[in-house]
Structure 1
Amino acid sequence: MSSRMLLSCDPHDNEAGLKLLEDLTTNANQVQLEVLEEILTQNANTEYLRGYLDGHSDKGLFKKKVPIVNYEDIKPHIERIANGEPSRIISAQPITELLTSSGTSGGQPKLMPSTAEDLDRKTFFYNLLIPVMNKYVDGLDQGKGMYLLFIKPEISTPSGLMARPVLTSYYKSSNFRNRPFNRFNVYTSPDDTILCLDSKQSMYCQLLCGLVQREEVLRVGAVFASAFLRAIKFLEDHWGELCSNIRTGCVSDWITDPSCRNAVSSFLSKPQPDLADFIEFECNGESWEGIIKKLWPRTKYIEVIVTGSMAQYIPTLEFYSGGLPLVSTMYASSECYYGINLKPLSKPSDVSYTLLPNMAYFEFLPVQKNNGEVTQQVQRNGGCIKKEGERVEIEVVGLVDVKVGHYYELVVTTFTGLYRYRTGDILMVTGFYNNAPQFWFVQRRNVVLSIDTDKTNEEDLLKAVTQAKLLLEPYGFLLTEYTSYADTSSIPGHYVLFWELKTRGNNDLSKPDHTVMEQCCSIVEESLDSVYRRCRRRDNSIGPLEIRMVKPGTFDALMDFCVSQGSSVNQYKTPRCIKSKEAIKILDSRVVGKVFSKKVPFWEPCKMETK
């Protein structure tokens, strides 16, 4: 392995870590060439690459012959491995597990290949974050971090390989258990509470440990803003019981997971009535504004991802935070860990991520942004892309050749068996750090709704609405228009659909029967993908879907508003997701009825054996 490919980073040595960042970003182009050479040399004789390169590892041939692909193109190869065929279909290194992406294919999560070495690459990435934070925040070694982390169910594929979310994979690894500083007990959550599959017991025990150690906490957080706010809502619902446990020194009987009970018992070794009284006083106040700062007074920042779809949670986080900075440290996915935020204390709206050139080989498809919509820009210049069975020429740009202010879709070639894979992430170049570009995350391609890890695109929403509206036709109602938005004003957030209906024939009813509309809500939910249904049923991270019926003519008023904001009358089409607060007000002012789903949609992890 080349010395640049997988570099060790001692998180205790801030100076060395920052120098490493300087070296990587200064030599970004050279590192990228070495990464591609390393990947091609190692994997030239895999079945996938042999089909295009005939055993050669030439970089120019790779760019000319290997197509840019979507998940559907590589899905058959990954499924063959899941069903027991050799890893060498796509990877010279043994594939040790499959990572389930929150994006979906055919209603099921995508499966991404992973290797043992990839865990080391992720550890390197996490270690590099520490000197960056220490550069901007003093004294982080003088206390603890309260990070609320959780695992999710995993499945065993027919080959015996485990399929699980990327964070579950990392938390269950020895790399996580042996992470820097863990042996010094600088995290409030014992590993056993994080690794508890019962999310309610896990949440309760982690919050209990965090409250007992409140005076030592210097930073708090979770991976996503949605998860952290869910923890705050859980605290609102359970603070009385938590105070009772602290007052008596005994954890509640319903905490039945033995590892959780044992882990918590060391923190509840004696009654602490004064601490319980203090927490009770703060939680019982008139308002929870600034509650984070009140309960954990030494906290310097909240570490959660608040870019992309998570930006919708910023106002709620600011309400609870008491003015603490919101820090988004990293940009990563199931496919690959990409980049880090080199200015972690910047405002959420200003966050840019610097891609680390040794994590993967990066390419970029130019996209255009017109009237708020991102569209693919197809040009005949040096590459090809698979599109509905055809190969279409398209421009491809290298990491160091992107232009400031331009929009791109990220394409990755990884050490784990993905070659010129379209991630679906749309990024905008905001500048350069040395020779490495910095990006603002714009959106996921085609995603219109997201509350947690769900990603509902326009096509999925259309299919779900089409199924539901069939219920109305026997009653003489037609759905003439619809749109949606993600309502995060309450916790958990939920999908809201605005429906404009018209009557057919002699139907005198102004709107359908309430029960029929409830059934429509349920059918929409049942028709959405497995990640949405899991978030609704198992994780409770999404609330019941809501349909708001609006007066006739409402969508004409919406069009008038959009045109007044610069949309073209000739090219206007109803947006299937509304993000403008003014537009939502227009729709809400014309609502004539509201209804929520009464049923929780069906969900099971997979047809494969659940572990």
Structure 2
Amino acid sequence: MELMKLTSNVKQIQDDVLKEILTLNANTEYLRGYLHGAYDKELFKKNVPVVSYDDVKPYIERVANGEPSNVISGKPITRFLLSSGTSGGKQKIFPVNNKFFEDMAFIFALRSSLISKHIEGDEKGKVVMLFFAREQSITPCGLPISTSVTGYLLSDSFKNRPSNCFTSPDEVTLCPDLKQTMYCHLLCGLRQRDEVVAMAASFASSLVGAVTFFESYWKEICSNIRSGHVSEWITDLSCREAVTNILGGGNSELADNIEEECNKKSWKGIIPRLWPNVKFIQSIVTGQNSQYIPMLEFYSNKVHLFSPAYGSSETMFGVNVNPLCKPEDVSYTFMPNISYFEFILADEGNKGEIVDLVNVEIGSYYEPLITNYYGHYIFYWELKAKNISDTIKPDNKVLVECCCVMEESLSALYREIRSKDGSIGPLEIRVVQQGTFNSLMEFSISQGASPSQYKTPMCIKSSEALVVLDNNVLARFFSDKSRPF
């Protein structure tokens, strides 16, 4: 019912979400220069540029260093999330508040209801849930930095969840030692094997890793089950006590049954052999995790693999509304109440157009934009005076005109997109101090570039190199061209 309500009124929900976002954030330092305190949708689309992470990074770092949240957020920032770094090679931090974890809880609840609708009896059993809490770091202003999963596990949304269907107590899930956590997850899951109806992890790689870990520790786990005592190397006291309560004394019969399965020649189907009542395995198996599908199918003996949701450190996107589809056929339905979604057309020969969620077309390819995502063009200029002793004083009128002239010199496709729908923001020139490009060369050489072959790069992708440039910016200028080129 909730899913039908959300997907049958997408435009209105998306408009309401954007209005809420703008109402809360229009007076932040970041948006005030674009919206002047207003929160009109068309003004947002016209004035607010699509930016890369590096464009907003200085604002994020200012808050991390102790400045008020309203530099970039209308609500108090409570923590920072650390990205995996798999998309760009570098980990990033994103400011969030409790709304992010409320959205995660909503997605988890929605996917649970979808499973219950398609798989009978799942709500009556337990799940071996391989959640792992990582160590947090702290910003200079004292706010925590963690992965999104760790942030969720430490949030009120997790602590106050309506029911606990996991085989592991929270003390295991929250143990900061990953080896101890994995061992205790498997120990608790096997001790309650007859109640287990599902096995789950955030990513398929974690599930395969769990089986590999179990190959090395199954004898010790069986010994713990037989004796009713936890191995001495499990030193986290709260975790140890909670697992001891789960064991509830020795169980030789169960230990013998597990040993019998593990001693067989092949480990094909080891998951349903260890948990005979398992109905499905839940984990993301799309994208980079698709490589693990054959291994999971081998270990699961074709127990259904359910890829539940699509998300990132920036936002939760949506859910798989067809839990019984094959892993290779998985698609995700965007939830319009989570974020304001736009899509940039990525079809060959027809790129650049930005459309709302309700206007995407079947058969076309898009990149998702979350509220305000793109890279406007930025050029770094090092201006040199005619005389060594002279000081450069950038003239605003001249540099703005330079921005306009440069835009006119770019390709016809750029000019069309720039003037058509505002999906590319005004071209920017950042004037840097004299000697900055020499500093950039020195940095590149320190990173392994050859002194004899170094050339000033045409495009900067390294975040460290961008820091060298941005730390030396004297002034910034933008094209004021609003008319068609």
Cα distance in 1 between the residues matched to 2:327 and 2:187: 29
Contact kept, 8 Å, 1:66 with 1:420, in 2: the verdict is no
State the match for 2:399 in structure 1. none
Shift in CA distance, 238/467, structure 1 to aligned 2, threshold 3 Å: farther
State the match for 1:384 in structure 2. none
**Quick check: 357-366 or 114-123, which moved more?**
114-123
> Please, which of 342, 348, 360 is the counterpart of residue 402 of structure 1?
360
Percentage identity across aligned positions? 51
State the match for 1:205 in structure 2. 184
State the match for 2:441 in structure 1. none
Q: CA deviation at 1:129?
A: 1.6
Q: CA deviation at 1:108?
A: 4.7
> Please, which of 304, 319, 333 is the counterpart of residue 325 of structure 1?
304
User: Which secondary structure state, in structure 2, belongs to the residue aligned with residue 368 of structure 1?
Assistant: coil
> Please, which of 55, 59, 80 is the counterpart of residue 62 of structure 2?
80
Higher strand share: 1
State the match for 2:120 in structure 1. 138
Shift in CA distance, 268/155, structure 1 to aligned 2, threshold 3 Å: same
Contact kept, 8 Å, 1:104 with 1:110, in 2: the verdict is no
Q: CA deviation at 1:377?
A: 5.2
State the match for 1:230 in structure 2. 209
User: Which secondary structure state, in structure 2, belongs to the residue aligned with residue 365 of structure 1?
Assistant: strand
State the match for 1:569 in structure 2. none
Contact kept, 8 Å, 1:107 with 1:529, in 2: the verdict is no
Contact kept, 8 Å, 2:54 with 2:463, in 1: the verdict is no
Rg larger in 1 or in 2?
2
Shift in CA distance, 297/529, structure 1 to aligned 2, threshold 3 Å: farther
| One-letter code aligned to 1:275 | L
Contact kept, 8 Å, 1:412 with 1:421, in 2: the verdict is no
Is 1:41 the equivalent of 2:23? yes
Is 1:353 the equivalent of 2:332? yes
Structure 1 residues 356-396: Cα deviation after superposition (integer angstroms, max 9, x where no partner): 00100000111135xxxxxx954xxxxxxxxxxxxxxx421
State the match for 1:284 in structure 2. 263
TM-score (norm 2): 0.76
| One-letter code aligned to 1:396 | I
Structure 1 residues 511-557: Cα deviation after superposition (integer angstroms, max 9, x where no partner): xxxxxxxxxxxxxxxxx999xxxxxxxxxxxxxxxxxxxxxxxxxxx
Cα distance in 1 between the residues matched to 2:49 and 2:327: 36
User: Which secondary structure state, in structure 1, belongs to the residue aligned with residue 325 of structure 2?
Assistant: coil
Q: CA deviation at 1:259?
A: 1.1
Higher helix share: 2
TM-score (norm 1): 0.61
| One-letter code aligned to 1:340 | V
Cα distance in 2 between the residues matched to 1:105 and 1:243: 40
Runs of 5+ consecutive residues of structure 2 not aligned to the other structure:
376-443, 451-461, 465-485
State the match for 2:411 in structure 1. none
User: Which secondary structure state, in structure 2, belongs to the residue aligned with residue 255 of structure 1?
Assistant: coil
Cα distance in 2 between the residues matched to 1:32 and 1:107: 32
Cα distance in 1 between the residues matched to 2:84 and 2:233: 31
Structure 1 residues 138-167: Cα deviation after superposition (integer angstroms, max 9, x where no partner): 111221111111011211001111111000
Matches within 5 A, 1:370-381: 378=351
Q: CA deviation at 1:260?
A: 1.2
State the match for 1:261 in structure 2. 240
Cα distance in 2 between the residues matched to 1:397 and 1:156: 38
Q: CA deviation at 1:180?
A: 2.5
Q: CA deviation at 1:215?
A: 0.6
Q: CA deviation at 1:117?
A: 2.7
Report the RMSD for the aligned CA atoms in angstroms. Answer: 2.2
State the match for 1:296 in structure 2. 275
Q: CA deviation at 1:289?
A: 0.3
Is 1:176 the equivalent of 2:134? no
Contact kept, 8 Å, 1:104 with 1:529, in 2: the verdict is no
| One-letter code aligned to 1:199 | L
Cα distance in 2 between the residues matched to 1:179 and 1:105: 31
Cα distance in 2 between the residues matched to 1:83 and 1:105: 26
Q: CA deviation at 1:267?
A: 1.9
Is 1:216 the equivalent of 2:202? no
Structure 1 residues 208-241: Cα deviation after superposition (integer angstroms, max 9, x where no partner): 0001000110011111000111010010010010
| One-letter code aligned to 1:222 | A
Tell me the number of residue pairs that the alignment of Structure 1 and Structure 2 aligns. Answer: 384
Cα distance in 1 between the residues matched to 2:350 and 2:247: 60
Cα distance in 1 between the residues matched to 2:104 and 2:132: 18
Cα distance in 2 between the residues matched to 1:157 and 1:326: 39
State the match for 2:253 in structure 1. 274
State the match for 1:151 in structure 2. 133
State the match for 1:501 in structure 2. none
Cα distance in 2 between the residues matched to 1:211 and 1:229: 17
Shift in CA distance, 421/247, structure 1 to aligned 2, threshold 3 Å: farther
Runs of 5+ consecutive residues of structure 1 not aligned to the other structure:
1-18, 370-375, 379-393, 414-418, 423-462, 471-527, 531-611
Matches within 5 A, 1:174-573: 174-182=156-164, 186-368=165-347, 378=351, 394-413=352-371, 419-420=372-373
Cα distance in 1 between the residues matched to 2:88 and 2:69: 23
| One-letter code aligned to 2:190 | L
Is 1:32 the equivalent of 2:14? yes
